[in-house]
Amino acid sequence: MARKINEYIIESCIKLSGFLVIIFVFLIFLFLLKDSFSLFGVYPIGEFLFGRNWLPISEPPKFGIVPLLLGSVYVTVGAIIICVPMGIASAMFIAEVAPKSLKHVLKSLVELLASIPSIVLGFIGIVWLGPFLRNTLHLATGMCGLTGSLLLAFMALPTIISISEDALVAVPNTFKEAAYGLGATRWQTLWRIVLPSASSGIIAGVMLGIGRVIGETMVVMMVTGNSPVVPKSILQPLRTLTATIAGEMGETVSGSEHYFALFAVGLVLFIITFMINLIADISLRRARR
Amino acid sequence: MNAAKTYEKVAFFVLGLAMLLIVAPIIMTIAYIVKNGIGAISWEFITQAPRNGMKEGGIFPAIVGTILLIIGTMLFSLPLGILSAVYLVEYARDNLFTRLIKLSVVNLSGIPSIVYGMFGYTLFVLFLRLGTSILSGSLTLAIMSLPVIITAAKQALEAVPASFREISLSLGATKWQTVRYCVLPHAVPGILTGTVLSLSRAAGETAPILFTVAAFYLPRLPHSVFDQVMALPYHLYVISTQVPNMPMKLSFATGLVLVALVFLMNLVSAILRAHFRKKKQW
């Protein structure tokens, strides 16, 4: 009998833990939603979503999210252009070209990159990459979108490489053998047979990498110049959604309009990353099948 | 045929070039930090508090703060993560509740770290009145680490052969006894590896601790879990962006200590994995 009670208590605890995981997501969403709606009670949602000015401490304040959204889009698109082709190419290299001994070294190096804290990369952006880009490209300042894009691309690479490599390795050997038997070269097999078969997994890796880029905060806060205006080019200072929250949250009074506006920005961020991760999850599941 | 071979050579060369363009900066980044930081590393730097507006002295309080946060994060996330994984692998039926948990794990893993910071600030610091404290920071980091731990634990549990469970159950053991004595012990290595990895990530995070625990300048050690602490990543942020005329070598040295700490944790994780793989019996 005592054993039965024991068993019941433990099973309840286990079930409760699973339940807590749901509760956390629900609570995060609820807190974001509640405080966002506090903003939309006093500030029209249309002006928030389509306003072109983010002037939180002017009188009256303006909370137009467009410059921040564009800042995030510029930096993210820049990073994607760099890291997606590079990441997939190196995943192909590791999976199909590199000899076995080199493979291990390369994979460990990529893991090493994954473990470098983002704040350290941001620091390198300030002391080295920013000044370097300013001098080579003759910019007004090295603290601009491009510096952020380069560092974010670097940060997203481990995710893209390791998931794409897994997907490439998971392609059944029979596919390759059939292609070789028909006289295809290794490259033709890799390009026309292995790569298309692994596409679901690669898409998942790319989406997870993009999710990481959009959500990254400290690097963009440190190197993109903190300028909440609609950016004209990636070579200008700008500011992302994440950097706005990190930079302004400490200065706001909790319960003020500005505080609620930052939560609305957080909600937008939450929805964007949720969509991206959902797509990644669906692709991963398709890849496993 | 020859054309195809030439084509292959060119293509492989391009792939190798892409790899090189990634590997070289990785090595250069680490070498750059080590080269510029190693000179300022000394016994004094590791064991003393910062002085003179952080421009002199060491980073001891920040190291202690980060270690306390790692421990706090582990205390909250490890039991919760393992139990959730046990539920998903051993108990869950394919129903709405299970699918919701799985969706929540996916969702948690994608939430940006700054959103965790906001959430921790409103829930733990303000709503539950824990204040900016080690407790609030650890809880925030713990929720952030949960999805990685759950995923690792899930994989480790799934890797235990079904026959282990069948034998235990056929001998009259209850469900929980089976999990406790026949499944979990074999899953420990995988769970440990994933946990150490996720903790190393938590140790390097800055955004979640910005408003929940991190102190700008606090050259003493905390007395209780309700105290603020300095933390390595936030300290690096502060001295590299907020303190004018900061001696560069101290910033580099702080970065080096943080990188070394995180690499050490990754190394431990790799060694654990290699060690247990050798001992594996099935």
How buried is A123 (Cβ within 10 angstroms: 0-12 exposed, 13-18 middle, 19+ buried)?
buried
Q: What is the rounded distance in angstroms from the CA atom of residue B256 to the CA atom of residue B254?
A: 5
The answer for residues whose C-beta is within 8 angstroms of residue B91's C-beta and 6 or more apart is A11, A14, A15, B175
Percentage of the residues of chain B whose pLDDT score is greater than 70:
99
Average pLDDT over residues A37-45: 91
> How far from A254 is each of A31, A243, A245, B217, CA to CA, in Å?
13, 18, 13, 23
Minimum distance, in Å, between the CA of residue B245 and any CA atom of chain A: 13
* B4 with A185: Cβ contact below 8 A: yes
User: How many angstroms separate the CA atoms of A86 and A91, rounded?
Assistant: 9
**Are B210 and B69 within 8 A, CB to CB?**
no
- Token look-up 């991760």 returns A277
Closest residue to A93, CB basis, from B8, B18, B122: B18
Measured CA to CA, the distance from residue B106 to residue A24 in angstroms comes to 12
Which pair of tokens denotes residue B61?
């309080």
Taking residues A69-91, what's their average pLDDT? 96
First-last CA distance in chain A: 44
B129 in reach of chain A (CB within 8 A): no
Are B30 and A115 in contact by the 8 Å Cβ rule? The answer is no
Q: List B residues 192-251 in contact with A (Cβ-Cβ < 8 A).
A: 200-201, 203-207, 210-211, 233-234, 236-237, 240-241, 248, 251
| Distance between CA atoms of residues A158 and A114, nearest Å | 6
Distance separating alpha carbons of residues A116 and A216, to the nearest angstrom = 14
Mutate to test the interface with B, among A5, A6, A14, A15 (most CBs of B within 10 A): A14
* A158-181 pLDDT per residue, tens: 999 999 999 999 999 999 999 999
Sign of CA dihedral A70, A83, A271, A252: negative
| Confidence class for position A226, pLDDT limits 50, 70, 90 | confident
CA-based nearest residue to B267, from A161, A163, A111 = A111
pLDDT score for A117: 95
Q: Which parts of chain A are beta strand (E)?
A: 54-55, 62-63
Nearest to B8 among A92, A113, A186 (CB): A186
Contact present, A281 and A201 (Cβ < 8 Å):
no
pLDDT, residue A288, reads 75
User: What average pLDDT does the segment A256-271 reach?
Assistant: 95
CB atoms within 10 A of CB B82: 24
Q: Residues of chain A with pLDDT > 70: what percent?
A: 99
Identify which of B105, B233, B258 has the shortest CB distance to residue A21: B105
Strand A62-63, strand B50-51: pairing = unpaired
Q: What is the dihedral of CA A134, A135, A139, A142, to 10 degrees?
A: 10
| Residue B40 CB contacts under 8 Å (≥ 6 apart), including other chains | B247, B249, B250, B252, B253
Helical spans, DSSP H, in A93-185: 100-115, 118-124, 130-137, 145-169, 173-181
Q: Which of B8, B92, B114 sits opposite A245 (nearest CB)?
A: B114
pLDDT (tens digit, 9 = 90+) per residue, B89-145?
A: 999 888 889 999 999 998 999 999 999 999 999 999 999 999 999 999 999 999 999
pLDDT at A236 over 70: yes
SS3 label, residue A168 = helix
For residue B127, CA distances in Å to A262, B69, B121, B130, B132 come to 18, 21, 8, 8, 12
Say which of A106, A124, A249 has its CB closest to residue B118. A249
Query: Looking at this predicted complex, what is its ipTM?
Result: 0.92
Q: Are A184 and A174 in contact (CB under 8 A)?
A: no
Q: How far apart are CA A282 and CA A197, in angstroms?
A: 16
Whole-number Å distance between alpha carbons of B239 and B243: 5
Q: Which amino acid is at A83?
A: C
Q: Which of A11, A21, A127 to mutate to test the interface with B (most CBs of B within 10 A)?
A: A21
Query: Does the CB of B258 have a partner CB in chain A at under 8 Å?
Result: yes
What is the C-alpha to C-alpha distance for residues A237 and A140, in angstroms, rounded to an integer? 10
- Provide the shortest C-alpha distance from residue A104 to chain B (in Å): 13
pLDDT of residue A36: 93
Amino acid at A53: N
Residue of A21, A93, A106 with shortest CB distance to B101: A21
pLDDT at B280 (0 to 100): 67
For residue B218, the model assigns a pLDDT of: 85
Tell me how far apart the alpha carbons of residues A15 and B193 are, in angstroms, rounded to a whole number.
24
User: Rounded to whole angstroms, how far apart are CA atoms B37 and A213?
Assistant: 28
pLDDT confidence tier of residue B12, bands split at 50, 70 and 90? very high
Residues of chain B found within 8 Å of residue A3, distances taken between Cβ atoms: 174
Mean pLDDT of A116-139: 94
Whether B1 shows a pLDDT value over 60: the answer reads: no
Are B111 and A215 within 8 A, CB to CB?
yes
Sign for the pseudo-dihedral over CA of B180, B182, B187, B188: positive
3-state helix, strand, coil in chain A (%, to 5): 80, 0, 20
Contacts of A63 (CB under 8 A, 6+ apart): A39, A43, A47, A48, A51, A54, A56, A257, A258, A261, A264
Residue to mutate among B106, B115, B125, B155, with most A CBs inside 10 A, is B115
Interface probe for A, chosen from B2, B17, B20, B22 (most Cβ of A below 10 Å), is B22
For residue A127, count other CB atoms closer than 10 A to its CB. Answer: 17
Tell me if B119 and A28 make a contact (CB, 8 A cut-off).
Answer: yes
